Each structure stands twice: as structure tokens, then as C-alpha cells.
Amino acid sequence: MSPTTDSIVQEISIKAPAARIFDALANPAERVKWWRSEGRFQITHAESDLRPGGKWIMRGTGMGDKPVTVAGVYRQVERPRLLEFTWLPDWQGDPTETVVRWDLEEEGGVTTVRLTHTGLITEASRAGHRGWPVILAALQSYVERQA
């Protein structure tokens, strides 16, 4: 993890086409299959209106089977290379809307996935979002198993 003053940046290489990865990120039916961390959280429901200005939501369970929800609005949708949306989680005491951006760059059947989460203005908000490496690993595992 490479935090700057208000962001988290993560990068991973996945052996799959960018279009396949984009679909796993954007399709609600696929997100519920892989967006999880064993024993920590699991998404059980997702909805998306995949267009700039369209809303999205994910619901699931967190630690201790506590219900969790995160929602937002799509800002940029450029299949298969860019997906950007606002992010508003309900598990923070004083939730602040932030921005999550996925950049996908494919070369030779391998796609570099770069996740940038900005607007994390407090240490508490950064600490509450340190699960991105787990999400990227789950995405990689899911997509590469499908290949």
C-alpha cells in the first residue's frame, strides 16, 4: 500500500483481458461471487446502473455478521479501461464520500489493474479501507479461475 496524504494506491497484474476484468468489476452478479474476505466481510447483494451518473450499491455482512452497505454514483465508465465511482460506506462512524478509480491496462494478455482510492482525509478513514489488497487478490483469483 502506498498512501499519500489522502489516498490509497494498489496495483496488481492479472492474467486476463482487460474486458474480462472490467466485467467482473462492473457486473453485480459477478461482484457477489468474489467481493469478500473470508471471516471479515462478504457482499451478498449488488445493483448497478452502469453509466456516468448511474447509482450502484453493495450490501453484505461484515465482522460478527453485522450488515454493511456501501453505495455511490458512477463518475466515469470507459469499458474496458476505466471505472470510477464515489464510495460511501456505512461502517464508518462519520462516513465521508470518497472516490474509487480502477485503471486497466492490458498488454500481451496480462492486465495491470491499478486501484486508486482518494478523499481519505483522516487516518481513521484510511485505516477503514486497508482491505483493498484482499479485494484485488479476490478479483485476481476469480478472473484467473474463469480464464
For residue 2, being part of any structural domain is answered with no
C-alpha–C-alpha distance, residues 137 and 38, integer Å: 12
Q: Is the pLDDT of residue 2 over 50?
A: no
- Count of structural domains, the chain: 1
For residue 1, being part of any structural domain is answered with no
Mean pLDDT of all residues belonging to the chain:
92
Q: Is the pLDDT of residue 129 over 80?
A: no
Which residue range(s) make up the domain with 17? 7-146
What cell numbers appear for 117 in the block? Answer: 482510492
For residue 119, being part of any structural domain is answered with yes
The pLDDT score that the predictor gives to residue 1 is: 42
* pTM for the structure as a whole: 0.91
3-state per-residue secondary structure call for the chain = CCCCCCEEEEEEEECCCHHHHHHHHHCHHHHHHHCEECCCEEEEEEEECCCCCCEEEEEEECHHHCEEEEEEEEEEEECCCEEEEEEEECCCCCCCCEEEEEEEEEECCEEEEEEEEECCCCHHHHHCCCCHHHHHHHHHHHHHHHC
C-alpha–C-alpha distance, residues 117 and 101, integer Å: 6
C-alpha–C-alpha distance, residues 33 and 73, integer Å: 22
C-alpha–C-alpha distance, residues 147 and 130, integer Å: 28
State the CATH number of the domain containing residue 19. Answer: 3.30.530.20
pLDDT tens digits, 84-111: 999 999 877 777 899 999 999 999 999 9
For residue 79, being part of any structural domain is answered with yes
